[in-house]
Amino acid sequence: MLQTPPDWVLRLRAAADQPPLRERVPLRWGGIEIGHAEHAVLQQIERAFSYQRPTVLRHEAAGWHIDGNLTESLARIALTMRELNLADRWRNEQLPVIDSGEQVLGTVERAAVYPLGFRTRGVHLVGETSDGQFWVQQRSLTKANDPGQWDTLMGGMISAVDTLEGALVRETWEEAGLRLHDLFGLTFGGVVQVHRPTTDGVGSYISERIDWYRATIPANCVPINQDGEVARFAKVPRKSMVAGISAGKFTLEAGLVTAAALGF
CATH code (residue 90): 3.30.750.160
Is residue 162 one of the residues assigned to a domain?
yes
2 has pLDDT over 70: no
Say how many domains are in the chain.
2
Q: How far is CA 7 from the centre of its chain?
A: 24
Give the domain extent around 185. 7-18+120-261
Q: According to the model, what pLDDT value does residue 55 have?
A: 83
Is residue 2 one of the residues assigned to a domain?
no
1 has pLDDT over 60: no
Element containing residue 78 per DSSP (H, E): helix 70-83
171 has pLDDT over 90: yes
Element containing residue 246 per DSSP (H, E): helix 238-246
Q: According to the model, what pLDDT value does residue 103 have?
A: 93
- Contact present, 207 and 120 (Cβ < 8 Å): yes
Q: Report the mean per-residue pLDDT for the chain.
A: 95
Q: How far apart are CA 56 and CA 69, in angstroms?
A: 9
54 has pLDDT over 80: no
Q: 110 and 175: one domain?
A: no
Q: What is the average per-residue pLDDT within 29-42? A: 96
Q: 147 and 100: one domain?
A: no
- Which residues of 30-173 form beta strands (DSSP E)? 32-37, 57-60, 63-66, 94-98, 104-109, 119-128, 133-139, 150-152, 154-157
Q: According to the model, what pLDDT value does residue 88 have?
A: 86
Query: How many of the other CB atoms lie within 10 Å of CB of 199?
Result: 9
Q: 125 and 256: one domain?
A: yes
Q: 78 and 145: one domain?
A: no
CATH code, domain with 229: 3.90.79.10
Q: 133 and 208: one domain?
A: yes
Residue with the larger pLDDT of the pair 245 and 54:
245
What percent of the chain stands above pLDDT 70? 99
Q: How far apart are CA 249 and CA 243, in angstroms?
A: 9
